[in-house]
Structure 1
Amino acid sequence: MTSPTHLPYGGIASFARAPIVRPDGHWRAFAAVLGIPYDIALGFRPGARFAPRALREASLRYVPPFAGLDGRVRLDPAHYPDPLMVDGGDVVLPSLEPELARERITAAARQIKERCRLPVFLGGDHSVTYPLLRAFHDIPDLHVIQLDAHLDFTDTRNDTRYSNSSPFRRACEDLPNLVHITTLGLRGLRFDAEAVAAARARGHTLVPMEVVEAQLQDTLAALPARCPVYLSIDVDAFDPAVLPGTSSPEPDGFSYALAMRLIREVVRRHRVIGLDVVELAPNLDPTGRSELLASRLIMETLAEVFGAEVSNVRE
């Protein structure tokens, strides 16, 4: 008789029931999850601080090993000698000390990064990507690929330099190894001309949503090739009809299928070295489908990276 297994609504909610570890503990794994329950840098509706817990609970619907109906995606811990995935818990954050919060986020991200192949960060608003990227200061020729309705390259907003509108501006100022950012899915009525000009002056690639849809093959071909990539996914990249639980939804965004098609191409062309999923506000979606979609996106991205690694080893 096999040991009993909890149904998705039972037991302790670690991400995909992964073993719970300390970020600074004695462990090694293929992937490690770290929660960043922080949303005091938002400019509109709060709630992203609740996302790490919601994502963990939703992930229990997708516990590995699993495969897609076509057999293409597989996530089987038996193929990897170390634990496939661990859960490093959440960074302990001060409620109203943003500078200290950033320091703690960077420190915990470095600890996770040193112990696994793929760190997976559960935001939190998008401001957390700046201190997370600081943990990758030692990666030469670092590229960021950002799925987002908004550029997030603003210099200041309401006299604030560290809002969720500015993470990539601050990262580019602090990280000389961050050589390029590609932003996919831009749209909306709110527009910061200075931020767009500054990003273009630095050589970044800005792709509006309508171009992603109409010229998908050209968009994929234009992605920088064969370089280390940090993948940052703001869930407002998705159409709010698909994922409504976010602070600043914008109509006419990604479908799930289109987002995964892009992510698969990124994984095929690059070595993805880090992933964050940010701006999920589960309190804004009483149906719970937003966190289900976001947690599935994480699991499928993990499966794609893991599958690419296994294929490379076999070859």
Structure 2
Amino acid sequence: MDAKAEGRSARKDHALDDRTDMTANFLGLPRTLPDGRAPAAVIFGAGHGSTYPGKDSTAHARAADAIRAASKADAGLLTHWDFDLGGPLFPDGLVACVDSGDLPTAMHDNAGNRALIEARTRAVLAEGAVPILLGGDDSVVIPFLAGFAEGGPIWILQIDAHIDWRDALDGERFGYSSPMRRASEMGHVAGMVQVGLRGVGSARPAEIEAARDFGSRFVTARELHAGGIDTALRHIPEGARVVVTLDCDGLDPAVMPGVIAPAPGGLSYTQATQLIAGLGRRARIVGFDLVELYPPADIGGLSALTAARLVINAIGAIVRQA
């Protein structure tokens, strides 16, 4: 073996094994990569966003830790074949994602939390990496999307049972019922596709009309079950920069029971991972968030495990982008 090959081999071993004291991180990933390499993606958590008056967001704030704990089973398998991805998570063997930990958010410090989330998102993007946010309830999505303002237009692919277009609820305009309404007001948001819609939620006819006036494309869960993932992906322009926002209640409660508003008939795990992979091939994933896991309602850790696998699939799609 020549010197260059030996160096590559040493770096690979170091990248996969240097997880000392990182057992609490997602997949045991390091906080920084060795040899000064820049990561393709950076994970961070935000337990609290904009909590409604009189509400308690503590349980949602436990979600990131639950997801990280569920990922431990795969932490020692980074070089193993992943059938969801058609190969190991990191195809060249070099770890390309880091977990930078949680932001110091605090319940009811709504403006402060939004500032923290937006600033961290901007900082990750400034490094040339893809931010991956672990919520928290759906309110953390608003400052996350705001953090993309300086990089050019983005599209949003939302996986959710609900459209989240309330202008305000209990006087709060930045709560978990409003992220897509606030996103529609951001000048850098070029369009959105909302997938998995079903049942009944906070949306009234006025919110449906407002979303349609903006140009949002609705793809109900029933439509996706009947027509496959192309019913959603065809609305995304080829080559577009896309942020994926995944509300756990977008999935069927048979595989994701740990949510606060379960609705039968949601996406399967396979459909969700196919959407992520298909999007990575059609467009460019520039951001990903997973929100609304509610640990007190989980059953046997199934929801946290499913959430962890969804994040792994997102990382896999991101590192495979050209």
**Which TM-score band (shorter chain)?**
0.7 to 0.9
1:271 aligns with 2:245: no
Query: What is the CA distance between 1:73 and its match in structure 2?
Result: 3.5
Q: What's the counterpart of residue 115 of structure 1?
A: 127
**Residues 191-206 of structure 1 correspond to what in structure 2 (within 5 A)?**
191-206=203-218
Q: Is the 8 A contact 2:85 2:316 kept in 1?
A: no
Q: What's the counterpart of residue 274 of structure 2?
A: 261
Q: What's the counterpart of residue 229 of structure 1?
A: 242
**Residue 60 and residue 70 in structure 1: after superposition, are their counterparts in 2 closer, same or farther (change >3 A)?**
closer
Q: What's the counterpart of residue 7 of structure 2?
A: none
**Residue 17 and residue 221 in structure 1: after superposition, are their counterparts in 2 closer, same or farther (change >3 A)?**
same
SS in 1 for 2:141: helix
SS in 2 for 1:127: helix
**For 1:14 and 1:92, how far apart are their aligned partners in 2?**
16
**For 1:280 and 1:52, how far apart are their aligned partners in 2?**
9
1:248 aligns with 2:261: yes
Query: What is the CA distance between 1:193 and its match in structure 2?
Result: 1.6
Q: Is the 8 A contact 1:243 1:293 kept in 2?
A: yes
**Residue 56 and residue 42 in structure 1: after superposition, are their counterparts in 2 closer, same or farther (change >3 A)?**
farther
- Map Cα deviations across residues 37-71 of structure 1 (whole Å, 9 max, x no partner): 11663698852110111111111122223323487
SS in 2 for 1:301: helix
**Residue 69 and residue 128 in structure 1: after superposition, are their counterparts in 2 closer, same or farther (change >3 A)?**
closer
Report the TM-score, using the length of structure 2 for normalisation. 0.85
Q: What's the counterpart of residue 196 of structure 2?
A: 185
Q: What's the counterpart of residue 82 of structure 2?
A: 68
Report the TM-score, using the length of structure 1 for normalisation. 0.87
Q: What's the counterpart of residue 50 of structure 1?
A: 62
Unpaired stretches in structure 1, ≥5 consecutive residues: 310-315
Aligned residue pair count:
298
1:288 aligns with 2:298: no
Between 1:253-262 and 1:105-114, the stretch displaced more is: 105-114
Alignment partner for residue 317 of structure 2, among 293, 300, 304?
Answer: 304
**Residue 273 and residue 149 in structure 1: after superposition, are their counterparts in 2 closer, same or farther (change >3 A)?**
same
Query: What is the CA distance between 1:79 and its match in structure 2?
Result: 5.1
Share of identical aligned residues, percent?
A: 30
Between 1:95-104 and 1:67-76, the stretch displaced more is: 67-76
SS in 2 for 1:222: coil
Alignment partner for residue 39 of structure 2, among 24, 29, 48?
Answer: 29
Q: What's the counterpart of residue 5 of structure 2?
A: none
SS in 1 for 2:244: strand
**For 1:70 and 1:210, how far apart are their aligned partners in 2?**
24
Q: Is the 8 A contact 2:90 2:319 kept in 1?
A: no
